[in-house]
Amino acid sequence: MSVRNWIAVASADHVAKGRQGGFMQVNHGKEAPLRRLRPGDVVAYYSPRQQMRGGEPRQAFTALGVVADGPIYRGEMGNGDTAHRRDVTWQATQDAPIRPLLAHLSFGGPHWGAPFRYGLFEITAEDMAVIADAMRPA
């Protein structure tokens, strides 16, 4: 099976926790979206805001990684809450604002934000190359 490329959406503070812990979660910890991912798939996180409930607008790609081998599992979120997660090998990257990239992305038209509402969506290898290049450390 070929490698697929994905954009996941979460606030930058949640992405930072996932990077630190070597995992990802989407859609408030739901399992179903994670079942679409396979080991070796590439994931870029887009963060519309710094914090989930408000905070400063971020509108940037904030993490890039490869889905690791292993099952979906439940992880502790604190306060007794759990969420479904997948392990990810995160790459060393820098944040990349989305606006300068929109002209180079296949989904970068006037309604570019629409697919982000799903929390996880597949993109082309060409789109991922644009994002990965922009996130490459200086």
Q: Per residue in 20-44, pLDDT tens?
A: 999 999 998 999 999 999 999 999 9
> Where residue 17 sits, what CATH number does that domain have?
3.10.590.10
Residue numbers of the domain that contains 50: 5-135
Q: Encoding tokens for residue 137?
A: 């450390």
Local confidence band at 138 (pLDDT 50, 70, 90 cut-offs) = confident
Which residue reads 């989407």 in tokens? 26
CA 30 from centroid of its chain's CA atoms: 14
**Residues contacting 1, CB < 8 A, separation 6+:** 38
- Check: CB of residue 45 under 8 Å from CB of residue 10: yes
- Between CA 18 and CA 40 the distance in angstroms is 18
The pTM (predicted TM-score) of the whole model is: 0.94
Q: Per residue in 38-93, pLDDT tens?
A: 999 999 999 999 987 777 899 999 999 999 999 999 998 877 889 999 999 999 99
Eight-state DSSP code of residue 79? T
User: What's the total number of domains in the chain?
Assistant: 1
